[in-house]
């Protein structure tokens, strides 16, 4: 599948025969729809679901859910689980569904492409999905890149994230550690250095450039530069109350948030990693005002 085909959407993955059947859409009760066990996406932030639910209330579901019938009379969601969850929040009883039959590999591929196109996956979810596709379909990184319309280096860098400890992977998924910070961590061979730098990133909010400088210095057995050293020293100075507020903001906004200052004054830095992510944050903050 070429990048040009990927750009046409999920319909391009289904083939001509399947696209002809898209005119036959069934209204299926939400109670009959089950999650896809091969869905690469594991995080469904409440705020984003509520936003989609509001859109569904006003405009309805614009794109049918893709599903496969099982032997129990239910339907396994292949693409559109987020729409189904939001439809429940919106109070719908039924949703439009296209019912097809798929192999396990096809289910994973379609779910992955749908999420990648909308940039809905966390970096760790995307990495796990790439690895599962490689294992299930016996594909190389280059072949995976062609299927999802990405550069091979993008797929390779994503897979490298899975070499990091579970705690760091979780921090990446929660937005507390950016992909740029993760690359600096991956440059460290010494596990103790890795953990030390991870703590500095999370607790002191050092920049990617500072993290890279520290990683290079640690690998060379040298002391980090003055600026990086100051950032490292700040890690233990943040007040417990400030850390608690910072963590609440991270959980509420679903991205990296840094609170710099004291209980009396300071500033809040909110990170975003795509145009869509910025728009999501703006809508979320405006909706809370």
Say which of 68, 81, 126, 258 is annotated catalytic.
81
Query: How far apart (Å, rounded) are the C-alpha atoms in residues 123 and 121?
Result: 6
269 DSSP β-pair partners: 258
Query: How far apart (Å, rounded) are the C-alpha atoms in residues 175 and 129?
Result: 18
User: Residue for token digits 């690359």?
Assistant: 183
Instruction: Say whether 81 is catalytic.
Output: yes
User: Residue for token digits 């005002």?
Assistant: 289
231: buried, middle or exposed (CB in 10 Å: 19+, 13-18, 0-12)?
Answer: buried
Q: Which of 26, 11, 10, 9 is nearest to 97 (CA)?
A: 26
Query: How far apart (Å, rounded) are the C-alpha atoms in residues 289 and 285?
Result: 6
- R_g of the chain, CA atoms, integer Å: 22
Question: Catalytic amino acids?
Answer: 81
């Amino acid at each position: 599948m070429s990048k040009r085909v990927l750009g046409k959407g999920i319909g391009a993955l289904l083939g001509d025969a399947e696209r002809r059947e898209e005119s036959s859409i069934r209204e299926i009760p939400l109670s009959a729809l089950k999650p896809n066990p091969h869905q690469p996406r594991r995080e469904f932030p409440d705020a984003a679901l509520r936003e989609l639910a509001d859109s569904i209330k006003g405009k309805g579901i614009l794109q049918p859910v893709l599903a496969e019938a099982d032997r129990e009379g239910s339907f396994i969601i292949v693409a559109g689980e987020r729409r189904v969850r939001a439809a429940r929040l919106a109070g719908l009883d039924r949703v439009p569904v296209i019912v097809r039959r798929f192999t396990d590999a096809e289910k994973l591929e379609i779910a992955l492409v749908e999420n990648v196109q909308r940039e809905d996956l966390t970096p760790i979810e995307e990495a796990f999905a790439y690895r599962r596709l490689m294992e299930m379909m016996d594909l190389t990184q280059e072949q995976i890149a062609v299927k999802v319309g990405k550069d091979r280096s993008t797929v390779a860098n994503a897979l490298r994230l899975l070499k990091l400890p579970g705690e760091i992977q979780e921090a990446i998924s929660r937005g507390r550690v950016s992909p740029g910070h993760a690359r600096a961590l991956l440059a460290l061979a010494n596990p103790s250095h890795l953990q030390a730098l991870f703590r500095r990133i999370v607790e002191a909010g050092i920049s990617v450039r500072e993290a890279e400088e520290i990683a290079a210095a640690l690998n060379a057995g040298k002391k980090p530069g003055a600026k990086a050293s100051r950032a490292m020293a700040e890690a233990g100075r943040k007040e417990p109350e400030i850390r608690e507020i910072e963590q609440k903001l991270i959980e509420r906004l679903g991205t990296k948030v840094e609170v710099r200052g004291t209980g009396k004054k300071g500033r809040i830095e909110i990170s975003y990693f795509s145009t869509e992510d910025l728009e999501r944050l703006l809508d979320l903050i405006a909706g809370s005002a």
